[in-house]
Amino acid sequence: MERQKIELYQERTYGEKLSATFAFVSENMQVLLKFLIYFLLPVSLVQAVAMNGYFSSAIAISQSGNDATGIAKIVGSMGLMVLLYFVGTILLAVIVYALMRLYGERENRLQGLTWTELKPVFVKMLKRCMMLILFSILASIVFTALLLGVVSLHPFIGFVVALCVMMAVFPLALVYPIYFLEDNVTIIEAISKAFRLGFATWGGIFGIFVTLAILVSIVGGIISLPWAILNAMKMVMGANGEEGFVGSIGYSFIVYLFGVVQCFANYFLYALPLIGLAYQYGHAAEKIDHVTVESDIDRFEQL
């Protein structure tokens, strides 16, 4: 039997939002994996090299003492890891929300979706994502400067402002689905709408995000265990001067493969909070703005 389409704009309970998240992943697993492999597997391949380089340099420094070359390698590996993680998270968000958008627009959902069909939406969302990141960086610099100025003048007011910012973090999470999934909305309008919908449904955002973040952390930690154990074995045996097989090229290649699996699996898991926030946004928009009712009225007037 054909599955019922998962509508974005629909009021849902906490459990129904979680169910919609996992149902979307289950229904579109093949398409989601295909495009994640295309874009994020290459990132994971290089990221695993940076991870292993960082860990190997750290082991070398711990065994032979600090040296400029080792520290430079650690800094270089860490910088590459941060850069790749930044690129990977951008591509992940663009892919996930592009697929969710096409899922709602296409008659046959994501069945038979090709790169030719995805490309225009992907490019559009990539541009919007870069604009949002640039705006966020500039806004963060301005806000930090203002906050430091306030703190220097009156520490208590600065503490209150910082507390308000912490409360606003969860409503601001709705900016991403709003800005990516709605048409003709500016960044300022997306932020304004995120605050309006987010504070009205603050508990729902907190519950969905924290639940999925804990799940991602637990599963990601389990997946990361083989890579961590193999590196720990190499460190212990190297410290005892008994490297043997752990110092061979074969062992290093196995560690590298587990690093690739760890990186790619974590990116796949990070898709869950993004999807969950989208359905949380759909719930809030339907509950507060009655989106589907207004849409039905507009279609009725066009008849």
Return the pLDDT at 300: 45
Tens-level pLDDT at each residue, the chain (303 residues): 567 899 999 999 999 999 999 999 999 999 999 999 999 999 999 999 999 888 877 777 766 666 677 778 888 888 999 999 999 999 999 999 999 999 999 988 999 899 999 999 999 999 999 999 999 899 889 888 877 777 777 777 767 777 777 777 889 999 999 999 998 899 999 999 999 999 999 999 999 999 999 999 999 999 999 998 988 887 777 655 566 677 778 888 999 999 999 999 999 999 999 999 999 999 999 999 888 755 554 554 554
Q: Which two tokens stand for residue 142?
A: 């301005």
> 104 by DSSP, 3-state: which?
helix
Contact between residue 17 and residue 273 where contact means Cβ atoms under 8 Å apart: no
Task: Tell me the domain boundaries of the chain.
Answer: 14-298
Return the pLDDT at 66: 63
d(CA 146, CA 165) in angstroms, rounded, equals 13
- 288's enclosing H/E stretch is none
d(CA 41, CA 264) in angstroms, rounded, equals 6
Q: pTM for this one?
A: 0.89
* Nearest C-alpha neighbor of 162 from the set 275, 131, 154, 117: 154
Return the pLDDT at 75: 85
Question: In b/e form, how buried is each residue of 217-245, taking b as 16+ CB within 10 angstroms?
Answer: eeebeebbebbeebbeebbeebeeeeeee
Contact between residue 187 and residue 139 where contact means Cβ atoms under 8 Å apart: no
Return the pLDDT at 63: 65
* Alpha helices for the chain (secondary structure H): 14-27, 29-64, 68-105, 115-153, 155-172, 175-181, 187-200, 202-239, 249-284, 291-302
